[in-house]
C-alpha cells in the first residue's frame, strides 16, 4: 500500500520534472528564434552569439552568462539596461515594449544555455 502510494508520488514528481525541463527547452528554442530575428530581439546587430550569422560588435559576445547572471538579472538587462548603465546603447526591450514579458522570458531561457 505505502509503496504503491510512494511509487505514484515518485512517478508524478518525475513527470512534473520532465515537463518542466521540456518547457525550458522549448522556451530556449523560441528564445533563440526571437534573439536572432532581425525584427524582434535583433541581438545579433550588436552581439556575437553562438550559432548566429553576421554579428555586430557594439556589445560584448554573449557567452558564459549563466555563471555570471541569474534569471532576474538577465531579465532586468533585457527590460531596461539603462538602469545599470544610463549611457548604454542597448534598447530597453521591456520598457519600450519591443518585446513582451513572455518573449523576454523565452530569450532568458536561451541566454542561460550560452
Ligand atoms: C544596439 C546594440 C544592442 C542591441 C540591439 C542589444 N544589445 Fe545587449 N548590450 C549592448 C551593449 C553595448 C552592452 C554592454 C553593456 C552596456 O552597455 O551596459 C550589452 C550588454 C548585454 C548583456 C550583458 C552582457 C555581459 O557579458 O555582461 C546581455 C546579457 C545582453 N546585452 C543581451 C542582449 C540581448 C539578449 C539582446 C537582444 C534581445 C541585446 N542584448 C541587444 C548592446 C546591444
Q: Tell me how crowded residue 53 is: count the other CB atoms within 10 A of its CB.
A: 7
Can you read off the three cell numbers belonging to residue 113?
A: 544555455
Which residue puts its alpha carbon closest to atom 39 of ligand 1?
Answer: 43
Q: Does the C-beta of 93 come closer than 6 Å to ligand 1? A: yes
Instruction: Tell me which of 81, 83, 111 to substitute to probe ligand 1's pocket, judged by most ligand atoms within 8 Å of the beta carbon.
Output: 81
State if residue 39 touches ligand 1 by the CB under 6 angstroms criterion: no
Beta carbons of 19 and 104 less than 8 angstroms apart: no
Residue 99 near residue 34, CB atoms below 8 Å: yes
Q: Tell me the domains of the chain and their CATH numbers.
A: 26-111 (1.10.760.10)
State in Å, rounded, how far the first CA of the chain is from the last one: 46
Tens digit of each residue's pLDDT (9 = 90 or more) over 73-106? 999 999 999 999 999 999 999 999 999 999 999 9
Q: What is the pTM of this model?
A: 0.85
* Contact predicate 64/74, CB 8 Å: no
Q: What is the pLDDT of residues 31-82, one digit of tens each?
A: 999 999 999 999 999 999 999 999 999 999 999 999 999 999 999 999 999 9
Amino acid at each position: 500500500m505505502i509503496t504503491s502510494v510512494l511509487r505514484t508520488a515518485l512517478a508524478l514528481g518525475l513527470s512534473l520534472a520532465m515537463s518542466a525541463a521540456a518547457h525550458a527547452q522549448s522556451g530556449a528554442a523560441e528564445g533563440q528564434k526571437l534573439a536572432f530575428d532581425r525584427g524582434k530581439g535583433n541581438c545579433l546587430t550588436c552581439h556575437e552569439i553562438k550559432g548566429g550569422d553576421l554579428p555586430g560588435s557594439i556589445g560584448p559576445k554573449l557567452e558564459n552568462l549563466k555563471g555570471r547572471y541569474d534569471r532576474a538579472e538577465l531579465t532586468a538587462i533585457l527590460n531596461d539596461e539603462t538602469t545599470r548603465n544610463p549611457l548604454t546603447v542597448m534598447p530597453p526591450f521591456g520598457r519600450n515594449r519591443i518585446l513582451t514579458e513572455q518573449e523576454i522570458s523565452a530569450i532568458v531561457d536561451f541566454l542561460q544555455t550560452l
